[in-house]
Amino acid sequence: MTTYDIALIGFGGVNRTLAELIATRGETLHTELGFGLRVVAITDLRLGSLVQAEGIDLSIPLNLGGGGETFAEYGGSADTNNESVIRNCTADIICEATFTNPDDGEPAVSHVRWALESGKSVCTTNKGPVALRGAELTSLAEQNGVHFEFEGAVMSGTPVIRLAKKMFAGLELKGFEGILNGTSNYVLGRMEAGLGLEAAIGEAQELGYAEANPSADIEGYDVQLKVLILANELLDAGMELQDVQRQGISAVTPENIRKAAREGRRWKLVGAARRNLDGSVTAGVSPVALPLDHGLAGISGATNAVSFDTDLLGAVTVSGPGAGRVETAYALLSDIIAMHAVRTGAAANA
Ligand SMILES: NC(=O)c1ccc[n+]([C@@H]2O[C@H](COP(=O)([O-])OP(=O)(O)OC[C@H]3O[C@@H](n4cnc5c(N)ncnc54)[C@H](OP(=O)(O)O)[C@@H]3O)[C@@H](O)[C@H]2O)c1
Confidence of residue 350 (pLDDT cuts 50, 70, 90): low
Residues 57/50, Cβ–Cβ less than 8 Å? no
- Any idea how long the chain is? 350
Mean pLDDT of the chain: 95
Residues 221/102, Cβ–Cβ less than 8 Å? yes
The pLDDT of residue 220 is above 90: yes
Catalytic positions, please?
226
Return the H-helix or E-strand segment holding 227: helix 221-235
Annotation: CATH topology of 2-157+326-349? Rossmann fold (3.40.50)
- In ligand 1, the atom with minimum distance to the C-alpha of 125 is 10
- In ligand 1, the atom with minimum distance to the C-alpha of 328 is 5
Report how far ligand 1's centroid is from the alpha carbon of 69 (Å): 19
Which of 21, 43, 45 is the pocket-test mutation for ligand 1 (most atoms within 8 Å of CB)? 45
Question: What was the pLDDT predicted at 208?
Answer: 87
For 173, other C-beta atoms within 10 Å of its C-beta total 19
Residues 312/174, Cβ–Cβ less than 8 Å? no
Task: Report how far residue 177's alpha carbon sits from residue 158's, in angstroms, rounded to the nearest whole number.
Answer: 16
How do residues 108-122 score in pLDDT, each as one tens digit?
999 999 999 999 999
**How much of the chain, in percent, has pLDDT values that exceed 90?**
92
Report how far ligand 1's centroid is from the alpha carbon of 57 (Å): 22
How do residues 186-199 score in pLDDT, each as one tens digit?
999 999 999 999 99
The pLDDT of residue 211 is above 90: no
Query: Which residues in the chain are classed under CATH 3.40.50.720?
Result: 2-157+326-349
Annotation: CATH topology of 161-321? Dihydrodipicolinate Reductase; domain 2 (3.30.360)
Question: What was the pLDDT predicted at 203?
Answer: 95
The pLDDT of residue 349 is above 80: no
Query: Which residues in the chain are classed under CATH 3.30.360.10?
Result: 161-321
**Is the CB of residue 13 below 6 angstroms from any atom belonging to ligand 1?**
yes
Picking from 325, 312, 45, 274, the residue whose alpha carbon sits closest to that of residue 157 is 325
